[in-house]
Structure 1
Amino acid sequence: MGFAHPTAVVTLEKVHRFADPDYAALSLRMRNGDDAGGVFDALHRRGQVVIHASEAERTAVLADAGTSGDLVIADTREQVADLNAAIRDHRRRDENARSEITTAGGERVGVGDEVATRRNDPALQVANRQTWTVTRIRKDGSLLLHGRGRDREIPADYATRFVELAYATTVHGAQGSTVTNAHVAMGEHTGAASAYVAMTRGRQTNVAHLVAENVDDARTQWIEIFSRDRADLGPAHARRQARDAIDRYGPQHRRPATAARDRSLSL
């Protein structure tokens, strides 16, 4: 009777392959909802919870992180838009003005910007959420994009309607992503499932950023976050995210079939 969950036993054994076993253990506790206060205390000691006095202060810190190339994750598209604009401003504050377009959403996109295509278009050979670097803007507003060894020319109409800055993303957009470092803006809209996914995107570090009056206030917020939407972390979700996290933190040993299936489930 004590061996009803062999899969769980295998998963726990594989956790020992994580590059950082202490964080691996903490990520499992986040997934399972075990002692949220204790997890917060451990992460705070490790410097993986940062407390900000105001939203403006947090945005400035996250803009610096995004400028350095780290992934920035937030709850809402409005937050993401603000962070993308702040990161872009940081990246370009010492640069001369360049040719740029303004999208339907009000974002300014120029040469060198990291962007995402947000609509599948087989004719253009682009897909939703693919990320690119803008390498050229033509006089008619069309873009030349480069990503993963490929170049794509995007007409002005598509560029204006379906291209977005990609320095920051929502949790949904971050699912399936693997980066070196991730920074997560948490707050009243963050649930347990999204917090767990966001805090397992980085191979090396994952840092939570909260706006709070003090450590006690931040701790209370953290506990509330990991009490919300616990149903979203059902067994199937947990197994999928655990496999993804093991592959992310562990050595470069990946089962292609499993990896492909996991990525397709994350879309």
Structure 2
Amino acid sequence: MHRFADERYADLSLLMRTGERSGEVFDALLARGEVVVHSTELERTAEVAALGDDLIIADTREQVAAINAMIRDRRQVAGERTGEHSGEPITRRGERIGLGDRVATRRNDRDLGVANRDVWTVVGTGDDGSLVVAGRAGQRVLPRDYVSDHIELAFASTAYGAQGETVNSAHLIVGESTGAASAYVGMTRGRHHNVAHLVADSVEDARRQWIDVFNRDRADLGPGHAATRVDEAIDRYGSQAAPSSAAHQAAALAASQRRTEHQPPYTSRPPGPGVRR
């Protein structure tokens, strides 16, 4: 609650956290100008790509990649990038990285002083494919191999990637697979503005979608349901996806117990060090 500049929004965030009175929350957000209804998916993607430096949060990595690519192209056309040259590295995902781009490191490396999901701005490029990046932790030099394998554009992010972020303004892409937990994360990253973007035929349709979101993927549906969501997250994001909250940790435990027969119960322990998600 202390993140928000507006106390009234802090009250709305508490309702989003619990999923209570979701229709009333939608009405309040709409009145505040923090719900935008788009007629098509293409229109929505184009409009959010023109939002400048605001954080954009989407459901899937495919959506994130599409938005990141559009933002990079727009910045190129607008002259916000200095132009492509032979020293700009291309990642294994096919993303070209240049000066001024916002990127995320996706692997812990103590020697380089970077962690998974740290966000940086590119302030220098080397002819050998290396990057100089700056962030809250200072400035780092990333060699070509790390850049190629473990760097990605980060103008947009999944809800998993946005956890822990605090920015001035954030925008949530609401889709058919958006759950209550993801929507809460997406609508609570901005100090001053948090805006939900929906594709709908009408405001009434958008309101129905919003209510559906906050009836979906609720942690209070029990460990069995939560374990299923963990399985789905692994399918979507890969086998290295780690639970990012106490509820997800409990779900992982439930999933493990469900798959293992005739195992004696054990006492849970705090998770050990690993890749930060």
What 5-or-longer segments of structure 2 have no aligned partner?
A: 223-244, 248-275
Asked if structure 1 preserves the Cα contact closer than 8 Å seen for 2:120 and 2:134, the reply is yes
3-state DSSP of counterpart to 2:89: strand
1:49 lines up with 2:45 in the alignment:
no
What 5-or-longer segments of structure 1 have no aligned partner?
A: 1-14, 239-265
TM-score, reference length from structure 2: 0.75
2:266 counterpart residue number: none
Q: Give the Å deviation of 1:92.
A: 1.7
Q: Number of aligned pairs?
A: 224
Task: Give the whole-Å Cα distance in 2 for the aligned partners of 1:232 and 1:133.
Answer: 38
Aligned AA (1:80): V
| Aligned ranges 1:156-195 → 2 under 5 Å | 156-195=144-183
Q: 1:17 to 1:94 in 2, by over 3 A?
A: closer
User: Which of the pair is proportionally richer in helix?
Assistant: 1
Q: 1:220 to 1:146 in 2, by over 3 A?
A: same
Task: Give the whole-Å Cα distance in 2 for the aligned partners of 1:201 and 1:215.
Answer: 24
Q: Which has the higher contact order (CA 8 A, sep 6+)?
A: 1
Q: Give the Å deviation of 1:48.
A: 0.7
Q: 1:159 to 1:91 in 2, by over 3 A?
A: same
Q: Give the Å deviation of 1:146.
A: 2.1
Q: 1:61 to 1:18 in 2, by over 3 A?
A: closer
TM-score, reference length from structure 1: 0.78
Q: Give the Å deviation of 1:57.
A: 0.8
Identity in percent: 59
Asked if structure 2 preserves the Cα contact closer than 8 Å seen for 1:184 and 1:209, the reply is yes
2:143 counterpart residue number: 155
1:28 lines up with 2:53 in the alignment:
no
Aligned AA (2:34): Q
Task: Give the whole-Å Cα distance in 2 for the aligned partners of 1:118 and 1:163.
Answer: 6
Q: Which residue among 90, 99, 103 is the counterpart of 1:102?
A: 90
Task: Give the whole-Å Cα distance in 2 for the aligned partners of 1:103 and 1:233.
Answer: 40
Asked if structure 2 preserves the Cα contact closer than 8 Å seen for 1:31 and 1:233, the reply is no
Task: Give the whole-Å Cα distance in 1 for the aligned partners of 2:2 and 2:76.
Answer: 42
Q: 1:164 to 1:33 in 2, by over 3 A?
A: same
Aligned AA (2:56): V
Task: Give the whole-Å Cα distance in 2 for the aligned partners of 1:94 and 1:222.
Answer: 34
Q: Give the Å deviation of 1:170.
A: 0.6
Task: Give the whole-Å Cα distance in 1 for the aligned partners of 2:11 and 2:212.
Answer: 21
Q: Which residue among 22, 38, 47 is the counterpart of 2:24?
A: 38
1:124 counterpart residue number: 112
| Aligned ranges 1:60-71 → 2 under 5 Å | 60-65=46-51, 67=52, 69-71=53-55
Task: Give the whole-Å Cα distance in 1 for the aligned partners of 2:166 and 2:26.
Answer: 23
Asked if structure 2 preserves the Cα contact closer than 8 Å seen for 1:72 and 1:168, the reply is yes
Q: 1:185 to 1:217 in 2, by over 3 A?
A: same
Aligned AA (1:206): N
Q: Give the Å deviation of 1:177.
A: 0.8
> C-alpha offsets along residues 221-245 of structure 1, whole Å, 9 cap, x if unaligned?
11110000112699x979xxxxxxx
